[in-house]
Structure formats: C-alpha cells, structure tokens
Homo-oligomer: A and B are copies of this chain.
Amino acid sequence: MLPAIEGELRRQVRRLDSASTRPFHEMLTYHMGWTGARGARAPGGKRIRPLLCVLVSASVGAEWRKALPAAAALELIHNFSLVHDDIQDNSPTRRGRPALWKKAGMPLAINAGDALFVLANQSVLDLARYFDANVVVTAAAILEQACLDLTRGQFLDLHHQQAGRLTLKQYWEMIDGKTAALLAAATQIGALLGGATATRCYEYRKFGQLLGRAFQVQDDILGIWGEERRTGKSTATDLAEGKLSLPVVYGLAKKGAFARLWRDASKRARNAGRLRRLLEEDEAHEFATRHAKRLTRDAVARLKRLRPRGEAGAALHELCGELLRRSS
C-alpha cells in the first residue's frame, strides 16, 4: 500500500508543478522527502495516517484504492502542520535534514505550508471520483474538524510554552488536538469510505484517538530518551527547547529539583543532560511508559472488538505493536 500512497501524494503535489512556480513545487517535494540532499532515499516520514486510513478501509471490506485521495489528504495535513511547527518552534532540522524554513526562509516556508493544506483540501474533494457527493462532504467535514482541533492543540502548546507550565489535564487536551485528532479522523474516514455503519465509524474513531495518544506519549519518551541517530533529531532538543512533553509535565507536578532547574528557560539547553537525569530520579520515564502501554493496550482491545477483516486487519494489529516498540 505504501507505494500507492506515495504515488497519490506525488500526483496531488504535482498540481503546483508549472513552469513559473517550479522552485515552489521543489520546496514541497523537498519537504515530502522526494528531492534534495539524499534525494529519493531521504526519509519522508512514516506515513502512518494514510496507512491507517487505507488499512481500516480495507479491513471493513472495501476496495482500499478508492480511499487513496483521503489518505493523501491526511498525510498532506500532517506535513502542512510540520512545516509550520518547525517555524513556530524554531526547530532547525526535520527528518535529519534542514527544516524547510531553514532552507527556503521563513516567509516562503509559511506559504509552502499553506499550499500543503490547500492540496490536502483538494485531495479529499477528489474522493468524488469514486464516491457519492454526500460521502465526500462528510469525509471533508471530519477532516476539517480534525484540522480545527489541530490548531487548538497547537495554540495550547504555544500558549503554555510561553508560561512554561502545563497541568496533566491540559496536556491531554493539547495532544488530543495536536496528534490524536488526525489519527482519529484517519480511522473514522477509513471506516466511512469502507461503508461501515455510523456506530462502527465512531468505534474506529475512538480506536484511532487512543492510538494517537499512545503514539504521542511514545514520541515524548523518544524525544528525551531516544537515540539521535535513529530519530533524526537531537534528543537534547526536546528538553533544550522547553517542549511540554508528558515526562516534563509529570516532573513539573512533582515540584522538586527538576521543576526548579526547569524554571529558567534560558539555561535549559545547557542543562539538558542534567534535566534528563532529574526526570529519571522523579521516575518520569516509568510514568510515561506506563501511560504509553496502557493507551496501546486500550487501543488494541478496541481494535479486537471491531474484528477487522483479512490481511488488512492483521496489519492494523501489527501497526499498533510497532508503534509502541519503535525506537524512532
């Protein structure tokens, strides 16, 4: 399925490939991991969202190729948010290469992110090739609601990052917007396009949401304790940049040595190693791992109850396991 997803993505991005805007098109193909340094071997991301969408669609018994325009839309939205995130977070690298704004400058990169969002909206409307217009409108509405949640999550992130603190309750609200919303939309739209009943669509949505939360918590753990070589970004970065990840939020709630050292934002980069050790003493690693495991277990339990069919069903189970065990 991955080559088919990649093909659909290229087809959608090609809308911008005209003579007068060639460098614009190249900005997008660079970010997507198709061109630039290391060319076709550049890592373009894991394509988890489109994969989830087509797998769910197939596992409820539909022709998965018809879900490709929606799958592409999900991945394009994810990438639009990455391009803007890197600017907002002042992150210089993405997938082991210079982030788009570092390469093209901030103004052009904002615009390229906007274009990825437009392409996503056009992709989802392309569902009209295969589906009744009512289904297209429903799929688009689910997608746009996820996008609104995405901007809300991003607001909470940026807003609380300025203040330098976040409660656990606010943390879950933030990642529900930033990560879980789009995965929930992926599974819900997959089920919708597969012709599932409204109840099953909703159940698939809940599965995607739990998986999204598990995925983000795992990401938070890797952002502090992952290996730089595998994740493509410096592990110090998350602590240095003051990212409000689950281990940090937990450490702050303990109001101990970690919380005191964290307070001075200007010294976080220099103290990244020490901050990590203090988090370990606070058992923040265990806390986050426990949450990641529980969330994954809940997601898997929900998936089992849904009895996804055939190879695609087995692949969905496999994907859940991989997401928790991954090291990058």
B21 with A155: CB separation less than 8 A: yes
- In this assembly, does A20 line the interface, its C-beta being within 8 Å of a C-beta of chain B? yes
A148 touches which of B89, B115, B144 (Cβ 8 Å): B115
A88 with B115: CB separation less than 8 A: no
- Please name the residue on chain B nearest to A125 by beta carbon: B141
Q: Which of A133-190 contact B (CB under 8 A)?
A: 133-134, 136-137, 140-141, 144-145, 147-148, 150-152, 154-156, 158-159, 170, 173
Q: What residues of chain B lie closer than 8 Å to A106, measured between beta carbons?
A: 87-88
- In this assembly, does A229 line the interface, its C-beta being within 8 Å of a C-beta of chain B? no
Interface range for A: 35 or more
If A20-B173, A151-B118 touch, whether A107 touches B15 (CB-CB below 8 Å) is no
A16 with B115: CB separation less than 8 A: no
- Please name the residue on chain B nearest to A148 by beta carbon: B118
A108 touches which of B20, B121, B159 (Cβ 8 Å): B159
- In this assembly, does A132 line the interface, its C-beta being within 8 Å of a C-beta of chain B? yes
B-facing mask of A107-134, CB < 8 A → 1, else 0? 1101111110111011001001000111
Cβ-closest 6 pairs across A and B: A133-B133, A88-B107, A115-B151, A24-B155, A133-B134, A118-B147
Closest beta carbon of chain B to A113's beta carbon, Å: 8
A136 touches which of B15, B133, B150 (Cβ 8 Å): B133
- Please name the residue on chain B nearest to A134 by beta carbon: B133
A15 with B128: CB separation less than 8 A: no
B137 with A133: CB separation less than 8 A: yes
- In this assembly, does A31 line the interface, its C-beta being within 8 Å of a C-beta of chain B? no
Q: What residues of chain B lie closer than 8 Å to A136, measured between beta carbons?
A: 133, 137
Closest beta carbon of chain B to A42's beta carbon, Å: 22
Q: What residues of chain B lie closer than 8 Å to A150, measured between beta carbons?
A: 118
Q: Which of A231-268 contact B (CB under 8 A)?
A: none
A144 with B173: CB separation less than 8 A: no
A21 touches which of B134, B137, B140, B152 (Cβ 8 Å): B152
